[in-house]
Structure 1
Amino acid sequence: MTEPHASQPHAPRAASRVRASALSGRGWLNTGGEQLSLESLRGKIVVLDFWTFCCINCLHVLDELRPLEEEFSDVLVTVGVHSPKFEHEADPDALAAAVERYEIAHPVLDDPELATWQAYAARAWPTLVVVDPEGNIAAHLSGEGHVAGLRSLVQELVAEHEAAGTLHRGSGPYVPPEPVARDVRFPGKAISLAGRGSRPGTFLVADTGHHRLVEVDADLSSVVRAIGGGDPAEASGAQAELAFPTPAVRGHADGGPEQALFSEPNGMTLLPTEIAARVGYDVVVADTVNHRLRGLELATGRVRTLAGNGVQALIDSERAKRPAAVEPGPLPGDPTSLALSSPWDLVWDETAGHVVIAMAGTHQIHAYDPVAEELSLLAGTGLEGLTDGPAAEAWFAQTSGLSVDGDGAVWAADSETSALRRITADDHGVRVETAVGAGLFDFGHVDGPAEQARLQHPLGVAALPDGSVLIADTYNGAVRRHVPAGVDAAGRERPAQVQTLAQGLAEPSDVLVEIDADGAATSIVVVETNAHRLTRLAVPEEYLTVDEGARQTQRPRTPVVAGEHELRIGFAAPAGQKLDDRWGDPTQVKVSASPESLLLEGAGTSTGLLRRLRLNPEVAEGVLHVTARAAACDGEAGQPIPDHAACHLYQQDWGIPVTVHAEDAAPEQAARHLDLDLRGIH
């Protein structure tokens, strides 16, 4: 998983001709049953997109590639190589659902054993490899934001191979699946309208796959009304769904329920009635792929844009100049002029008087004040990982679910670290702590003491009146409950616990609790995304105890020699840019390990792209976690950087599984140094 960075003006060609490796995996999707090979694609420019469907950066790349695929439809073939991070993602049915959900209109290779991933030396999601019409690798790119460079490279390859007679124009191998009609399609989130809907007991559902909102009756299935989605026959400036025909249009437009358009909306929050009366709308919506917040007036169904300019947020120039600096607080400017990045969930914080935003795309927590019309950064450096502490130092990882408890603490489902986090504020500021979770590559389904419990990519949370928290444990197909530390009936201290309430659900992405007049929980409402429905569960009298084991992401391990080890990270600023050294060294590396004992020396954060590590010979295997950053600004080599020059922060995160060998017993291929490329270009 990587953080967004600025688009590069050109994707450099590979320095030497390297033959592309064969594509091998379990099978193919979107080909009508045909098994593809690179040989069958000779004459086409092929973009191999190594992705995994949990990864927000991979989803960004899917959206970045769509216009490129359309522009060069007769010469370019994108092949998605799905190389899973989580155990659940290796399920072929889950992959097929993800391909449908994200409207992927190109062939997809199912690579559950990461055979093709390893053949192309991919080290991070997403990775893009460009193969020319003769089957040679033309470029190798990591991360997102490469579309401008890719366009230039494709144009260059088209001209070169058309002149040589090696370019074949015509349709590609994509075969769309048969459409399926559904009332709701891949719903993402839901909220109770608390008596403020069209009739008592209704819920507002983010009908994510239909790019709209729907109000459903208390039976959880009868659609009362739809808001957004438009009419495909009248789509103007919007993208009608072609691969999966439905009564919906993807786009951005404000207006009444028939005119409004969304793009994969997710989280929503209901404002207090007095706040709604002041601002003129009742519900704030996370319009995820539009990178916007929208406001919905329930009485009329009218939709307006509250924040976001529709451009995916990149790290701003001030942060690029000072890679280590993060300053939570108000963001200057009209919120509708600011760039956001995949807002995924929202919750109203009564104590603070603002909407809390899970900004999944930049791994941060933001806030929006509807009365002041002000957007703020609440917590998070923008680095992806699991680090607690003050707001300015905390790391998040694709936060996708939020809830506020009775004490005003915000609970967050941090999906990529399979973690439950807690955000609190007092006179000393905002702090972040982890209740459940171990790191980016640790997951599982384990109940028991919270410090030992494991989740798998949770997307939703709901704080209960008794202080416990329900978790939509998405990739485990379960609803879990975190119970805080306390005292049992015998007066003994009890540590925080995690329990399983329900299993066998189809990617539950949100969970709500229905409360009676006495404040007691009467039932649990679950958004089952891959079952295309909301499900009501009884509150169980007894809880399951589950231990299906803890896991770590399984990727091919790199053999390394114990002892002194050199980490070298390459970076060259793109053409027309230069390293920004006005405030000192503009590069930075953070290194950590799982387990921590793997690293005897070399952990921590420092400037520079060279680090000396000392690996522990007593630890047989583990994962090295590396994050590298470099800041560059527009300017010419040898010249001062102009005032107000556009600046860019390049960042890449790697998790590298290793096996450690003693010097006298190391295999021949064991590495004594590790070379990484920040821009990921060979």
Structure 2
Amino acid sequence: MDSATKTSSVRVRASELEGRGWLNTGGVELGLDKLRGKIVILDFWTFCCINCLHVLDELRPLEAQYKDVLVTVGVHSPKFEHEADPVALAAAVERYDITHPVLDDPELVTWQAYSARAWPTLVVVDPEGYIVAHLSGEGHAAGLASLIPELIAEHEAKGTLHRGDGPYVAPEPVARDLRFPGKVLPLESGNFLVSDTGHHRLVETGPDLATVVRTIGSGAKGFRDGSAEEAEFNEPQGLALLPGALAAEVGYDVVIADSVNHRLRGITLATGEVRTLAGNGVQRLLEAGPARVNDDGAPASETELGSEPLEVALSSPWDVAYSHVLETVIIAMAGTHQIFGFAPATGAVTVVAGNGLEGLLDGPAEQAWFAQPSGVTEDAKGNIWIADSETSALRVLKFADGGATVETAIGEGLFDFGFRDGEAAQARLQHPLGVAVLPDGSVAVADTYNGAVRRYDPAAKTVSTLARGLAEPSDVLLDESGEVPLLIVVEANRHQLIRLPLPKNALQVDEGAAQTQRPKTPVAAGELALTINFAAPTGQKLDDRWGDPTQLKVSSTPPELLLGGEGTSVGLARTLVLNPDVPEGVLHFTARAAACDGPEDANGEIPDHAACHLYQQDWGIPVLITADGASELALDLRGVQ
């Protein structure tokens, strides 16, 4: 079943749902026959993926509004080796409050049956079992909101729509002091502040890391400023303590990355009062309007985002750290693959590094690529170390008179990971989330999916292992409060914080390097015709007020795979030229299209007040050069029957 078929007039029957087992069904095995009569959204996701987490939240209102006719089925098709662990998957389903059935598809059987090419992918199946839409990326809620009523009306008229409860069965709740804690911050009192992410609050613990001194936030998922008892968060993550003089000036002490609210919050420690510092609550896409490029074909830059911080859109801020060099709070903006800055004294929000394209590319800060940065910390020289999770990389942002630059200490690319110590060029991590600087200037990394804490020595450019056997460590902190330095590790999946000694002799582990295992697409050398299918939802129109509202960026790993067709330009079709001397590799595509709500005005134009939507998706397509391979490749950004 290829993309051209899915967007033609031919009706295509949905394939059966096959995998290792089911979650959230009370032990019942589901099949399409048991879902007949319902509108079904198949959500192909993997729990490492920030875009997939965005889609989970986009679907929640639709699931609630149409609960008697709509069934979402999460098809978990893992990217990383750790994500294929059924225990880790069950924890992720609990962590993210997923309230629909989930199919465990570790071998990508159902993924391949539906020709999924990227995370996330949505496939809509009508009540008769036919595919009616194939959507890649996030931002499709508005389109689904128009498609679902159309399907309801059509199938009620045909008598093929069955109303009633869906197959979701809620698991038994578990009571805990902490629930999937995210990050930890030492306080001057000797206590620690912990983002109790799964309980949507902050917890201040005593020096023993276990005694609960107080909580900040009601524990209800939401958004509300106010007292410690009244305030509400939505999956808070990173925490940063401001310098004392600055805190006294601005009236708050701690900055919190309130990830799902897409906001920064501030806390006054003396009272527990919570206020909003930045973010308007609307998830930021890289550009608010149509996809535009500069004269050189590069995406338009957005360095200065404004001095009205409550009007700026953010996207899943995951960690924060204070930069004494910039006098700015550095933000790991996971949702847009960038590093932002927030200046407490002025309220200015800026892009510090990253152009928003997903991947691993070093160089000048404004040109660098990141992939879901999730941990940041400052070293004694003022450098910012970054856990770049989706590239399984440790990156560093350095400042000099000539500007800022990004370098990679450990990591190879979006699909390369593993557990290997030794020379940094060959070392491998697996989806790290936290970083800390050690007394000797080396860097500790919470190597989350390897269940380990790793150490990078910048002088020797070597990697070693400080601890292993941990349950998804999400943060690591140097604790110098005692006679000897210790590590504090946030063990998210054991819902606890622990102290570990710094070993005199670190381990040397080599469990090998790996790549994400996905089927390779056979293609022929020479010209390859690439088409990205996009159909604007009912009630929307392509936003051509500033020219072509589409954009396509093409690159490859290795770069030698492409002899022609690389680069960024408008349009969603491109002829590539593949090198016959490179046997295999990965083609990287980023496609965008901007559409706005109608109706059009009397002149057929989009009115100035219309709400606009940016559709975007990144693909990494593994390819194998063969004599009888395809000469055409079609992908769906939004394909509808």
TM-score, with length taken from structure 2: 0.94
State the one-letter code of the partner of 2:330. Answer: V
- Give the equivalent residue in structure 2 for 1:388: 362
Question: What does residue 327 of structure 1 align with?
Answer: 301
User: Residue 624 of structure 1 is aligned with which of 579, 584, 587?
Assistant: 587
Name the stretch that deviates more: 652-661 or 620-629. Answer: 620-629
Q: Mapping of 1:151-300 within 5 angstroms?
A: 151-195=145-189, 201-228=190-217, 230=218, 248-300=219-271
Distance 1:570 1:16 in 2: 16
Correspondence 1:244-643 to 2 at 5 A: 248-317=219-288, 320-322=291-293, 324-485=298-459, 494=460, 496-515=461-480, 522-573=485-536, 576-578=540-542, 580=544, 582=546, 586-631=549-594
Distance in 2 separating the partners of 1:527 and 1:208: 12
Equivalent AA in structure 2 for residue 444 of structure 1: G
Query: Cα distance, 1:314 vs. partner?
Result: 2.6
User: 1:132 is matched with which residue?
Assistant: 126
Paired AA for residue 638 in structure 2: R
In structure 2, the residue matched to 1:679 is 638
Q: Which amino acid aligns with 2:440?
A: D
Taking the aligned partners of 1:250 and 1:643, their CA distance within structure 2 comes to 34
Aligned with 1:158: secondary structure? helix
SS of equivalent residue, structure 1 residue 499: strand
Counterpart CA distance in 1 for 2:625 and 2:303 is: 44
In 1: Cα distance, 2:28 partner to 2:144 partner: 27
The CA RMSD over aligned residues, in Å, is 2.2
Asked whether the equivalents of residues 357 and 369 of structure 2 are also in contact (C-alpha less than 8 Å), the reply is yes
> Secondary structure of the residue that 1:221 maps to in structure 2?
coil
Alignment partner, residue 3 of structure 2: none
Q: Contact 2:137/2:618 (CA < 8 Å) preserved in 1?
A: no
Q: CA deviation at 1:593?
A: 2.3
Counterpart in 2 of 1:651? 616
Deviations along 1:430-484, one digit per CA (max 9) or x if unpaired, are 2212111111111111111111111110000112342211100100111011101
Letter in 1 for 2:488: V
Q: Is 1:317–1:646's contact at 8 Å kept on the other side of the alignment?
A: no
* Range with bigger deviation, 670-679 or 531-540: 670-679
In structure 2, C-alpha distance between the alignment counterparts of 1:136 and 1:641, rounded to whole Å? 33
Q: Distance in 2 between matches of 1:26 and 1:58?
A: 21
Q: For residue 236 of structure 1, what is the aligned residue in structure 2?
A: none
Cα pair 2:265 2:277 within 8 Å, conserved: yes
- Contact 1:28–1:35 at 8 Å: present in 2 too? yes
* Partner Cα distance (1:401, 1:97) in 2: 21
Alignment of 1:56-67 (within 5 A): 56-67=50-61
**What is the alpha-carbon distance in structure 2 between the residues aligned to residue 443 and residue 59 of structure 1?**
21
What amino acid is the match of 2:588?
H
TM-score (norm 1): 0.88
Q: Which residue does 1:27 correspond to in 2?
A: 21
Give 1:387's aligned amino acid.
Answer: L
Residue 275 to residue 680, structure 1, CA distance change in 2 (3 Å)? farther
Distance 1:159 1:129 in 2: 19
SS in 2 for 1:392: helix
CA–CA separation in structure 2 for the residues paired with 1:267 and 1:581: 39
Name the structure 2 match of 1:43: 37
Counterpart code for 1:163:
A
- Measured in 1, the distance between the counterparts of 2:496 and 2:391 equals 27
- What secondary structure does 2:119 align onto? coil
Given that residues 321 and 647 in structure 1 are in contact (C-alpha distance below 8 angstroms), is that contact kept between their aligned partners in structure 2? Answer: no
8 Å CA contact retained: 1:14, 1:137 = no
Distance of 1:364 and 1:656 partners within structure 2: 23
Deviation at 1:631, TM superposition (A): 4.6
Pairwise CA distance, 1:660: 1.6
Determine helix, strand or coil for the equivalent of 2:154.
Answer: helix
Do the aligned residues in 2 keep the contact of 1:567 with 1:673 (CA within 8 Å)? yes
Contact kept, 8 Å, 1:328 with 1:379, in 2: the verdict is: no
CA contact (8 A) 1:384 1:653 kept: yes
Displacement of 1:333 = 4.8
SS at match of 2:149: helix
Alpha-carbon shift at residue 320 of structure 1 (Å): 3.1
Amino acid at match of 1:57: N
1:116 is paired with a residue whose SS is helix
Deviation at residue 615 of structure 1 after TM alignment: 2.7
Give 3-state SS (helix, strand or coil) of 2:580's partner: coil
CA–CA separation in structure 2 for the residues paired with 1:141 and 1:581: 25
Deviation at 1:649, TM superposition (A): 3.9
Structure 1 residues 69 and 409, CA gap change in structure 2 (3 angstroms): same
C-alpha separation in 1, matches of 2:549 and 2:173: 50
* 1:646 Cα deviation from its structure 2 partner: 6.0
Match of residue 234 from structure 1: none
Opposite residue 130 of structure 2, the aligned amino acid is: N
CA 1:328/1:379 → structure 2, altered by over 3 Å: closer, same or farther?
farther
| Counterpart Cα distance in 2 of 1:452 and 1:326 | 35
**1:319·1:325 contact (CA, 8 Å) conserved in 2?**
no
What do the CA deviations read for 1:325-345 (whole angstroms, capped 9, x no partner)? 443533225211222111100
Bigger mean CA offset, 386-395 vs 47-56 = 386-395
Q: Secondary structure at the match of 1:320?
A: coil
Indicate if the aligned counterparts of 2:290 and 2:549 stay in contact, CA closer than 8 A.
Answer: no
Provide closer, same or farther for how the CA distance between residues 138 and 606 of structure 1 changes in structure 2, counting only shifts above 3 A. Answer: closer
Cα offset, 1:579, TM superposition: 5.0
Change (3 A) 1:500 1:120: same
For 2:365 and 2:59, the matched residues in 1 are separated by 34
> What's the CA shift for 1:598?
2.9
Within 5 Å, give how 1:91-106 maps onto structure 2.
Answer: 91-106=85-100
- Given residue 553 of structure 1, which amino acid in structure 2 is its aligned partner? T
Secondary structure, aligned partner of 1:156? helix
1:3 matched residue in structure 2: none
Q: How much does 1:501 deviate?
A: 0.9
Tell whether the 8 Å contact from 2:292 to 2:551 is kept in structure 1 after alignment.
Answer: no
Asked whether the equivalents of residues 401 and 412 of structure 1 are also in contact (C-alpha less than 8 Å), the reply is yes
Tell me if the contact between 2:41 and 2:73 (Cα under 8 Å) persists in the aligned partners.
yes
Question: Which stretch of structure 1 is more off in the superposition, 146-155 or 474-483?
Answer: 146-155
Amino acid of the structure 1 residue aligned with 2:471: A
Q: Deviations over 1:95-122 (max 9, x none)?
A: 0000000000010000001110111111
Partners of 1:329 and 1:629 in 2: CA distance: 20
Partners of 1:538 and 1:223 in 2: CA distance:
23
Alpha-carbon distance between aligned partners in 1 of 2:40 and 2:282, rounded to the nearest angstrom: 27
- Rounded Cα–Cα distance in structure 2 between residues aligned with 1:544 and 1:316: 45
SS of residue paired to 1:154: helix
In the alignment, structure 2 segments of 5+ residues that lack a partner are 1-5
Q: How many angstroms apart in 2 are the aligned matches of 1:474 and 1:28?
A: 25
Write the deviation string for residues 352-394 of structure 1: whole angstroms up to 9, x where unpaired: 1110011111111111111112211212111111111222211
- Identify if the C-alpha distance between structure 1 residues 167 and 641 changes in structure 2 by more than 3 Å, giving closer, same or farther: closer
- What secondary structure, in the 3-state scheme, does the structure 2 residue paired with 1:170 have? coil
Q: CA 1:554 to 1:167, structure 2 compared with 1: closer, same or farther past 3 Å? A: same
Q: Deviations over 1:515-570 (max 9, x none)?
A: 259xx961000000001000100010101111111111111111112233232333
